[in-house]
Structure 1
Amino acid sequence: MNGPTPGRSNSTLTLARIFLAIGPVVLVTLVTIGVVLQVRTVQKSSWPTTQGEVIDVVKRVSHDSHRSDRERRRGRDRTSVTYAPVVRYTVNGTEHEFTSKISTGDKWTVGQQVTVRYDPEDPASGEIDGLGDWVPWLLIGLGVGIGGTFTAIGFGLGRSARKRAQRGGNAEPGSGVVTP
């Protein structure tokens, strides 16, 4: 059979609607979070800096909880190990310390000197200068990439379903809406 299949264009249109529902939400959500984080990063760039010292390193191990029982039995262990530095620094004669919120694959060295940015209104609130500056751009890129792709697929599927339905005569003329 070479003609259009009405059930197929309805399912394609449903799939298009799903992609069009998910795509813009992902795009707007990730881009918004990325922009908010980037604004905070820019604000923090005006904070004063001081030298800090790595006094300890916290090893963080995470296990892939989505492994199947079969993978577990075969010994396929998907764990990742990252390291977060514990940093001590002094502002106006008062010592402060924090454990970095961002852990990396690089193993920090106890005694290593790092530059710390701290909030002048709350000197106990510090972070390693430049360590997480890439996170906002990652979220913006993921939002545009994933959200934009889902949205484009949704539009493409919708257009395809409308054309197929128009050839089969079950579309409302001029509305772009396919009726079952």
Structure 2
Amino acid sequence: MHSGRLFTIVGGIFGLIGLVLLCVGIALAASTASLLASAQRTDGSVVAMTARTTTTRSSDGHTRSNTSWYPTVEFTVDGRRYSFQGSTGSNPPAYKKGEGVPVAYDPDDPSNARIASFWSAFLAPLIVGGLGVVFTPIGAVLFVKGRRITRLRAWLWKQGQQVWAEIEHVGRDFTVRVNNRHPYVVHATWQDERTGRTYTAASDYLRDDPGPRLRGQTRVRVLYDPADPDRNLVDLDAHPSHP
């Protein structure tokens, strides 16, 4: 997969996730604001703190655990006791057992209630919406970059100048990961006859080792923009008639 397509796909995924998170954050904020606007207020008490542990696996293969504490609050309306668990947790715990807290509840359905503080009510929408605000522009930038690379590749295939460049290196690129693996890459160099300057071209990221199919081959075809030789692509499928 060439880098333009990769950037386009990743950018599209990031952008879509960002838009979904942004819409969910706005919906949560609107729902919370609507409830608080019509809610009744009373005093409640934290009766328990419940731990929830989530486990994630990082790109380096290590497993990490994170524990958050969620408050369970009880309150009384017209002699009837209600309870609910807070929608947001924290570490360290934001509340202590027995601590009094303000409660906002729906007068038509007191079981629909939440802690009536700004951070407790709006933390979840802020986090979700904030992630959406971050993901959306990142996705847009990657998508646009991918489309530009794809257009450049199409132009190079049609109008790029050809040169047979010397293979300098074939191996993994340990500075990046694709699908949790370091991809293979081929580097080749050539000298511009007009300026005498040496340029280096890098192939697309490759999942499989290209060494076997390049065995005995010392050069690869490079297509480049004569006005800017740094704009180039490596064609590993072409073979020189005299390697």
Which position in structure 2 is the counterpart of 1:120? Answer: 107
CA separation of 1:67 and 1:154: change in aligned 2, threshold 3 A: closer
1: CA distance, partners of 2:54 / 2:8: 35
Match for residue 135 of structure 1 among 116, 124, 130: 124
User: Larger strand proportion, structure 1 or 2?
Assistant: 2
Uncovered stretches (5+) of structure 1, i.e. residues with no partner: 1-9, 73-77, 172-180
Q: Aligned with 2:146: secondary structure?
A: helix
Are positions 1:94 and 2:80 aligned together? Answer: yes
Residues 12 and 158 in structure 1, CA contact (< 8 A), matched pair in contact too: no
Could you state the TM-score of these two structures normalised by the residue count of structure 2? 0.55
Which structure is richer in relative contact order (CA contacts within 8 A, separation 6 or more)?
A: 1
User: Larger helix proportion, structure 1 or 2?
Assistant: 1
In the TM superposition, structure 1's runs of 4+ consecutive aligned residues that sit over 6 Å from their partners are none
CA separation of 1:123 and 1:32: change in aligned 2, threshold 3 A: same
- The one-letter amino acid of 1:36's match is A
Q: Aligned with 1:111: secondary structure?
A: coil
Q: Aligned with 1:44: secondary structure?
A: helix
Could you state the TM-score of these two structures normalised by the residue count of structure 1? 0.72
Q: Aligned with 1:134: secondary structure?
A: helix
Per-residue Cα deviation, 1:14-35 (whole angstroms, up to 9, x for no partner): 2243134313311221111111
1: CA distance, partners of 2:67 / 2:113: 24
Uncovered stretches (5+) of structure 2, i.e. residues with no partner: 161-243
Residues 10 and 143 in structure 2, CA contact (< 8 A), matched pair in contact too: yes
| 1:80 CA displacement | 2.6
Q: Aligned with 2:90: secondary structure?
A: coil
Match for residue 83 of structure 1 among 69, 72, 91: 69
- The one-letter amino acid of 2:48's match is D
Which position in structure 1 is the counterpart of 2:16? Answer: 25
Computing the radius of gyration from Cα coordinates, the structure with the larger value is 2
Q: % of aligned pairs identical?
A: 23
Match for residue 53 of structure 2 among 58, 62, 68: 62
CA separation of 1:24 and 1:65: change in aligned 2, threshold 3 A: closer
CA separation of 1:147 and 1:118: change in aligned 2, threshold 3 A: same
